[in-house]
Structure 1
Amino acid sequence: MKQFFLILAFAFSFNLVAQDNINYNEVSQDLLQNIMDGKSYAKEVKILEESTLENLVTQLKTDKHKIAFWVNVYNSFIQISLTENPKEYEDRGAYFKKERVKIAGEILSFDDIEHDILRRSRIKLSWGYLRKYFRPKWERKLRVKNIDWRIHFALNCGAKSCPPVAKFTAEGLDKEFDFMTTEYLKEQTTYNKDTRTAKSVSLFSWFRADFGGLCGARQILADYKITSEKPKKLEFNNYDWTLSLGNFRKIPN
């Protein structure tokens, strides 16, 4: 009996050490890469399911680590869930609210990841101006300190108008985000020089506070050289919610 408990204690200790040695940012990258390559991703899903809040808090120390990890996880599970059951997309409100991603001892929805973690507890339907208070421990521990508006051009929600899916790293996040932002906005934006009117993606309207308001959105178009000058007026394209999976993009080195 004593020998049995010694073996059990050793196995438990070994599992703790194994978890401590896991690089969760790399796991999120491998998960997404396997999906993009059409390979099995069961190993990575299992690792995430067995992670704890302490595991992730220890490793995801900076906003860049958190953002790269959570964007990869979000984009991966969008592809997984809608490949397995595309009919779920017929009720998108329920789809994004459904708890389905088991990680850090919790089962999270896509709304949890996007609005609570990546947008620092923002109320979804408030243009980004209203915040939630008295949030649970896991959310306060895992959410970013500062919202990076470029997440909106990196998150893929499965729709045709969404940005392409790319793999992100904490080390190269600024360069990777700038590339995806530029490429996506070039594809989504037209500009009338005579009236100085830009027409671009509806994300600028839906999450306007994240961009510094509509004035900030117009400045972004100029700063990223999407338009030749800062537009005086900003209009928005209709968002195409047609289901579109497998829209992958490789970021150049």
Structure 2
Amino acid sequence: MFAVSSQNKVDYNQVSQNLLQSIIDGKSVENQIDILAKSSLSDLENQLKTDSQKIAFWVNVYNAFIQISLSENPELYKDKGKFFGEERIKIAGETLSFDDIEHGIIRKSRIKISLGYLRKWFVPKWERKLRVKKIDWRIHFALNCGAKSCPPVAIYTPENLDKEFNFMTTAYLKEQTSYNSETKIANSVALFSWFRGDFGGICGAKKILKKYKITSEKTKKLDFNTYDWTILLGNFRTIPE
């Protein structure tokens, strides 16, 4: 079922949650896809006002369409640049790519290959209207690109996003990080390197590991694990209430 307000408007965050839940349950997603395809820029702009609303919605949509696209055609993953860059998601009166959602909307118009330090010069109108006001680095531990090394897929809500993100960040980093207390060297996710600007540089990544008690102290050196791009679909996780 889709939540409907007193003004008879679709609750798009609820639709994004239902879309992922249907995938998890192995049910049809045609209705949710149709609703998103018929949405307009003004629909989403008027409803997704806070960053929490925007992030929860777009992370759910991104993760859902990764599952849908690769389930339908795993061969798409052989050319990852094309897979992520090709427009394939009909929403808000546009057809968006995964890169549009991740780097344009959720990462506030960052250039994909810039380690998180450079912003795009030319930004389309829809992107300016839909993007977040501030980058939340925890999105990197919520977005699932379909690979084995990706964080698990969970359903996010704007009301509890901070708690949900903290849980998934802690769980994912604990699984992906090793630490040698004698050498004070940590090995962790390549995401820290690829998007270092989002984390406040490598120094910021070290602080995150300590803050989330992944390492007992601020590590002297941070090395990065090799990313496993083997397709892994259905890697779902339930966030405890």
1 CA distance for matches of 2:107 and 2:206? Answer: 21
Q: 1:92 aligns with which of 80, 87, 110?
A: 80
Which stretch of structure 1 is more off in the superposition, 85-94 or 18-27?
18-27
Higher relative helix content: 1
Match of 1:131 in 2: 119
Runs of 4+ in 1 over 2 A off after TM superposition: 17-20
2 CA distance for matches of 1:191 and 1:134? Answer: 42
What is the identity, as a one-letter code, of the residue corresponding to 2:113?
Answer: L
Alignment of 1:56-135 (within 5 A): 56-135=44-123
Aligned residues: 237
Say if 1:19 and 1:130 are closer, same or farther in 2 by CA, change over 3 A.
Answer: farther
What is the identity, as a one-letter code, of the residue corresponding to 1:85?
Answer: N
2 CA distance for matches of 1:226 and 1:142? Answer: 34
**What secondary structure does 1:222 align onto?**
helix
**What secondary structure does 1:107 align onto?**
strand
Match of 2:224 in 1: 236
In structure 1, runs of 5+ residues without a counterpart are 1-16
Match of 1:35 in 2: 23
What is the identity, as a one-letter code, of the residue corresponding to 2:169?
Answer: T
2 CA distance for matches of 1:123 and 1:94? Answer: 16
Q: 1:219 aligns with which of 207, 215, 218?
A: 207
Match of 1:50 in 2: 38
**What secondary structure does 2:170 align onto?**
helix
Larger Rg: 1
- C-alpha deviation, 1:21, in angstroms: 1.1
What is the identity, as a one-letter code, of the residue corresponding to 1:174?
Answer: D
- C-alpha deviation, 1:134, in angstroms: 2.7
Say if 1:19 and 1:102 are closer, same or farther in 2 by CA, change over 3 A.
Answer: farther
2 CA distance for matches of 1:239 and 1:20? Answer: 45
**What secondary structure does 2:22 align onto?**
helix
1 CA distance for matches of 2:126 and 2:117? Answer: 23
- C-alpha deviation, 1:20, in angstroms: 5.6
2 CA distance for matches of 1:19 and 1:41? Answer: 25
Q: Does 2:10 correspond to 1:22?
A: yes
Q: CA RMSD in A?
A: 1.2
